[in-house]
Structure formats: C-alpha cells, structure tokens
Amino acid sequence: MPKQRVQDIQSKGSRPRVVTTKTVTTMKQTGEKIAMLTAYDFLVAKLLDQVGIDVILVGDSLGNVVQGYETTLPVTVDDMIYHAKAVKRAVKNALIVVDMPFMSYQNSVDEAVRNCGRVMKEVGVGAVKLEGGAYIAEIVKHLVKIGIPVMGHLGLTPQAINKFGTYEVRAQDKKEADELVRDAKVLADAGVFAIVLEKIPSSLAKKVTASIPVPTIGIGAGPHCDGQVLVVYDMLGMTEEFRPRFVRRYGEFAESLRSAFNSYIKDVKSQQFPTMKESY
C-alpha cells in the first residue's frame, strides 16, 4: 500500500483509553462489558481500533476464514506472527491477543515458552490465548510467571475438533459441565487474565462467570459472560454459509462485495471505467 494511504488511514479518529490485560480484568469489577472481535489484517484492525474495540483477537480462525482450511489445525506460529504483525501496525489502543496454534504449546513448558516468547518478542502484542483446561495449567502458570499474559479458552475448543467429532454445543451433560467449572477455576488460579467460553449453555456460562475472579468472554455462551467475541467476517456476513444462531450479522458484506465486483466488471467491459476524469 502507498505510504500516503497508510498515513491517511492512521490519522483518522482516536480514542483515549489504552487497553491492557489489567484494564480487561478491572472491567469485570466495574461491570463494563468487554467487546472483542477478531482481526487478521491492517485495515480491519485499524477500523476496529478507531471505533474503540477493547480487545482484538488475532484468532487461529484465520485458518478457516483467511487460509481456507477446514479446521484451524494446519495454522503455524509463523502464520500467526505474519498476521499479528499486520494487526499490530494498525493498533494504538486496543489490547491485541494472539491465538497460539495447535501443537505450539501443548507438548511442554519449554516449547510453550519458545513459541509464545516468539510471538511476544517478534510482534510486541499484549497477550496470547491458549485452548485447554487443567492439563495446561502448569504451562499457563509458567508463562504468566515469566511475563507472558495468557487468555484461556474452554468449551468448544476448535483445536480439539478431532476429539469432539462435531461443532455441537459442549458441556450439555453434568460431567462435562462440572469439569468445565473446575477447569475455569484451575486456569484462574494459574493466572489467566480472562477466559473465552465457546458454545456452551448460557446457564453454565453464568455459573462459571460467577465463580471466577477473571472475566469470561463468550462466543455462543449467552448474555451472562463479562464480554463477547465474534469472528469479524461472521458478524460482517462474509461467511455466508456459516449461520449458527450465536452469530448476529451486523452487515451483509458478501452481497455488497459481490455487487461492487459485478459493477466493476460491467463498467470495464462496457468501457465506462475509467473515464477521462479518472485518467492522467
């Protein structure tokens, strides 16, 4: 992109509050809901930051919506760093959290430190997000101890799709629900500053939210969480076939884009673009 255009975008709008992990934790105490959305590129991140989003998640959902994979499993640490760097260049105020991809942290504390450390050092973001319950508590504890803030993620954790076998609502039976409440407490004790709860019953999300001191951020987890997150392309109506009930659409961008592309093709074919006014 030409330098002038980057500067134009960067100069529009501003907001006073710089959001840190501490801000997010405090929002639970003050009762201010946390608004989080995903971003994977400079332009979307810039717009989100301009309008005052609290948290931008560079989600490994980029494996689905940017790279076109069926699952998030093929995403690499290098992929995350590439996208997170683009987001980072755009953001002045929002807290940026980067998802750690499948098999970049589960195997050992050493591996988690190496990969999360790369993300923090090479990109300069505020925190990482790890999927998983009590079994990653030791890893979380160590990361937090050495200065790497961690957001947890429980419920429908997409990196475990091969274990689950479906993207259905999780923790509908008592055993899994009890385990999720225990996991949330263990993660909070291990030092996470927030926990994403994905696709679980809203009554369970309410219970978890009331039982831990750190904020919960729901996606398909109902209204009682301390905040909400959606995949940005879902809420913009770009992922047309993906219509779960938890996605509220705030635009029909697939249709708008198709219409714009069609108009362009028509104008080029009919020689209505460019005019002399659009030429030098």
Annotated catalytic residues are 198
DSSP 8-class letter at 165: -
Q: How many CA atoms lie within 13 A of 180 on its CB side?
A: 30
136 touches ligand KIV (CB under 6 A): no
Q: Judged by CB under 6 A, which of 60, 79, 183, 226 binds ligand KIV? A: 60
CB of residue 238 vs ligand KIV: minimum separation in angstroms? 14
Q: Can you read off the two tokens belonging to residue 138?
A: 């030791």
Please, are residues 186 and 167 in contact by the beta-carbon 8 Å criterion? no
Q: Judged by CB under 6 A, which of 77, 219, 235, 238 binds ligand KIV? A: 219
38 touches ligand KIV (CB under 6 A): yes
127 touches ligand KIV (CB under 6 A): no
Site string for ligand KIV, 151-190 (x = CB under 6 A): ----------------------------------------
| Nearer residue to ligand KIV within complex by CB, 76 or 146 | 76
Q: Residues 185 to 204: which contact ligand KIV by CB under 6 A?
A: 196, 198
**C-alpha dist (Å) from residue 129 to 3, 144, 202:** 32, 12, 22
List, in sequence order, every residue forming a beta bridge with 79; answer none if it has no partner: none
Within the chain, residue ranges assigned H as helices are 3-11, 21-30, 42-50, 62-65, 77-90, 109-123, 137-145, 161-164, 174-190, 202-211, 232-235, 253-269
79 touches ligand KIV (CB under 6 A): no
61 touches ligand KIV (CB under 6 A): yes
